[in-house]
């Protein structure tokens, strides 16, 4: 039997997860489920072809990045207005999710990020009490939500992500060692019916067809489980906001699609999920300092009225 490796080992073997001692009740062995080869990244997302307007974009956040918008012709945080007036915007490298997150991983948790801050502020109060629950963080990246749920008293938990670099970054967080596996969220390496609570944060846009995702989430959750999915709001996407970051002084953008609330609900209904509620928070005063610290307070006032994040709470069928 070939044993797929995990973030623990420093290398990976495609999309398969593995049993990990201590959390064996979560992880299935690779031969228990035929996990398909990962779709190539270019089939996971449609590349974003920038319009001329988008070439002179504003970045929400220059160093760590999250989104840039073509709403003004001014330059990025930290680049200065005079430069924007005199020079064309620097080129943006468009990369796949796997290329992008491998580069971004080292700084993903380090730099303040207004959308992650907003999402945490909006999602935390919606989450049920994690105490005693078995939790899954799907497309967990560096395990942002898994770490929170475990520290909130979850009985047990695990995370999966396609990027080994993001998973490695997560290993430095308390309690995550032995709980992370590299896997595609369309074919999770978890046993069926294992999760009371599943969070999938800022990752649905990396796949066009959400139906298999809804069905896979249905497989790994218990009857009546709570499932929370979040992503960049489609309205922000329609205005040209894109996931981006800076690496060694250069700008990168990760291609993603936007899913409407209707499309997300339809896909999850195919897994039997019922929508409990959706919320569409906007940036507000708690995020203002992030913009101001980057010298972009004026941009904050222009974008704060736009729904920035989509959060859907689903319940698994009983």
Ligand X SMILES: C[S@@+](CC[C@H](N)C(=O)[O-])C[C@H]1O[C@@H](n2cnc3c(N)ncnc32)[C@H](O)[C@@H]1O
Residues that bind ligand X (CB under 6 A): 44, 97, 101, 139-141, 144, 161-163, 166, 184-185, 201-203, 206-207
Name the minimum Å distance from CB 142 to ligand X: 6
The rounded Cα 130 to chain-centroid distance in angstroms is 20
Q: Using the minimum distance from each CB to ligand X, give the nearer residue, 75 or 245.
A: 245
Q: Using the minimum distance from each CB to ligand X, give the nearer residue, 196 or 231.
A: 231
Q: Using the minimum distance from each CB to ligand X, give the nearer residue, 15 or 316.
A: 15
Q: Using the minimum distance from each CB to ligand X, give the nearer residue, 161 or 253.
A: 161
Q: In 3-state terms, the chain is what percent helix, strand and coil (to 5)?
A: 30, 20, 45
Q: Using the minimum distance from each CB to ligand X, give the nearer residue, 163 or 257.
A: 163
Name the minimum Å distance from CB 106 to ligand X: 13
**Adjacent-strand bridge partners of 93:** 252
Name the minimum Å distance from CB 109 to ligand X: 8
226: closest CA among 140, 307, 123?
Answer: 123
On whether the CB atoms of residues 67 and 236 are closer than 8 A, the answer is yes
3 state DSSP class of 221: strand
171: closest CA among 14, 15, 9, 28?
Answer: 9
Name the minimum Å distance from CB 165 to ligand X: 8
**C-alpha distances in angstroms, 14 versus 4, 37, 39, 108?**
8, 7, 10, 23
299: closest CA among 60, 83, 111?
Answer: 60
Residue entry with tokens 């799907």: 138
Name the minimum Å distance from CB 80 to ligand X: 28
Name the minimum Å distance from CB 286 to ligand X: 17
Name the minimum Å distance from CB 176 to ligand X: 12
Q: Using the minimum distance from each CB to ligand X, give the nearer residue, 79 or 190.
A: 190
Residue 97's CB: how many other CB atoms inside 10 A?
A: 22
Torsion of CA 296, 302, 304, 305, to 10 degrees: 180
Residue facing ligand X at closest CB distance? 141
Name the minimum Å distance from CB 20 to ligand X: 17
270: closest CA among 214, 311, 213, 318?
Answer: 214
Q: Using the minimum distance from each CB to ligand X, give the nearer residue, 111 or 161.
A: 161
Q: Using the minimum distance from each CB to ligand X, give the nearer residue, 69 or 163.
A: 163
CA distance 245 to 63: 7
């Amino acid at each position: 039997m070939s044993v797929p490796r995990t973030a623990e080992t420093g290398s990976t073997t495609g999309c398969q997860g593995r049993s990990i001692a201590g959390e064996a009740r979560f992880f299935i062995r690779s031969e228990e489920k035929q996990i398909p080869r990962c779709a190539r990244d270019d089939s996971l997302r449609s590349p974003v072809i920038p319009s001329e307007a988008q070439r002179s974009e504003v970045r929400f956040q220059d160093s760590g990045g999250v989104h840039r918008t073509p709403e003004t012709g001014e330059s990025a945080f930290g680049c200065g207005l005079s430069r924007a007036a005199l020079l064309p915007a620097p080129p943006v490298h468009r990369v796949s999710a796997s290329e992008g997150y491998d580069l971004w991983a080292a700084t993903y948790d380090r730099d303040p990020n207004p959308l992650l801050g907003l999402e945490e502020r909006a999602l935390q109060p919606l989450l049920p009490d994690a105490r005693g629950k078995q939790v899954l963080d799907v497309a967990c990246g560096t395990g942002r939500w898994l770490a929170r749920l475990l520290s909130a008293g979850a009985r047990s938990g695990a995370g999966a992500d396609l990027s080994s670099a993001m998973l490695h970054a997560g290993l430095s967080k308390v309690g995550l060692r032995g709980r992370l596996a590299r896997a595609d969220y369309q074919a999770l390496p978890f046993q069926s019916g294992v999760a009371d609570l599943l969070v999938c944060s800022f990752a649905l846009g990396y796949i066009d067809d959400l139906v298999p995702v809804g069905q896979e989430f249905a497989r790994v959750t218990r009857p009546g489980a709570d499932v929370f999915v979040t992503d960049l709001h489609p309205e922000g996407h329609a205005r040209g906001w894109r996931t981006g970051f800076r690496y060694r002084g250069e700008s990168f953008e990760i291609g993603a699609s936007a899913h409407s609330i209707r499309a997300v609900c339809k896909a999850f209904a195919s897994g039997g999920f019922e929508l409990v509620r959706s919320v569409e928070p906007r940036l507000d005063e708690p995020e203002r300092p992030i913009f101001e610290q980057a010298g972009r307070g004026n941009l904050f006032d222009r974008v704060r009225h736009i729904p920035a994040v989509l959060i859907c709470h689903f319940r698994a069928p009983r």
